Amino acid sequence: MLHKTKGIVLRTIKYGETSVICSVFTELLGLQSYMIKGVRTTKSRTSKANLLFSSSMLDMVVYLQPQKNLQLVKEFQAAYLYRTMQEHVAKNGVAVFAMEILMQLIADHDPAPELFAFTEGFLKQLDARPVQDIANFPLFFLIQAGRLAGYHLSGNYTPDTPYADLHEGRYTASLSILPPFIEGAEADTISRLNAAPDLDTIVGIRLSNTERRQALDHFITFLQLHVAHFRELKSLPVLTAILY
């Protein structure tokens, strides 16, 4: 059966002499793996293989055979052409990090339209914003994508709940018995980041590079504790070297 859907490429692997296998987060069909044949037949800059990079946004016509793990693509074209993303190492690093997070959060073949819409908007904002605004973007994506996938640190930093317990997944009145032990100014920072409703708000939260990296580590640890089979992020060392 044929379907028309938007898609965001998460990962591309070369296959054979002319083909690729792409992991694509589709709006209609969730996470799918596609064999795309014959796209590497030319070295021309106009080759359609050039559209199949991590974070590229596509309009697709795809086949769906539910009994198969690897699907086929009838046709595809760019749904959005980035203006600055591929020119800026920092922006590209954030995008690759975001795509790796999605690979860990999305269940195969399970549509997640809210998460798709959020990711689409996030990537367009990442492309449009000046590079000096993006230092907190990885934190925003990590927090909001996790929330939309069902993983959320609940509560807030208050005099009655001054401790962030990542194992319990909430703010508590007493310090966790297991590390990391998050309290004081650090717990307040995590709370403000966690409560930021949009990119404008989170961009306005001023942090040192050390504070930013610690917060990123804490939110990654939270997902590792609660998402089954959450693996080590290969993009993290590159991201931190670029931004922090």
Number of structural domains the chain divides into: 2
Q: What percent of the chain has pLDDT over 90?
A: 86
The domain that holds 151 is classified in CATH as: 1.20.1440
Which pLDDT tens digit goes with each residue over 146-184?
Answer: 999 999 999 999 999 999 999 999 999 999 999 999 999
Examine the pLDDT at 42 and tell me if it is beyond 80.
no
For residues 77 and 88, state if they share a domain.
no
Structural domain including 97 reads 84-244
Q: Decide which of 62, 81, 100 is a domain's last residue.
A: 81
For residues 53 and 128, state if they share a domain.
no
Examine the pLDDT at 45 and tell me if it is beyond 70.
no
Q: Decide which of 47, 81, 115 is a domain's last residue.
A: 81
For residues 92 and 74, state if they share a domain.
no
| Core vs surface per residue 151-185: b (16+ CB within 10 A) or e | bbbebbbeeebbbbbbeeeebeeeebeeeeebeee
Place of tokens 């993006």: 134
Examine the pLDDT at 104 and tell me if it is beyond 60.
yes
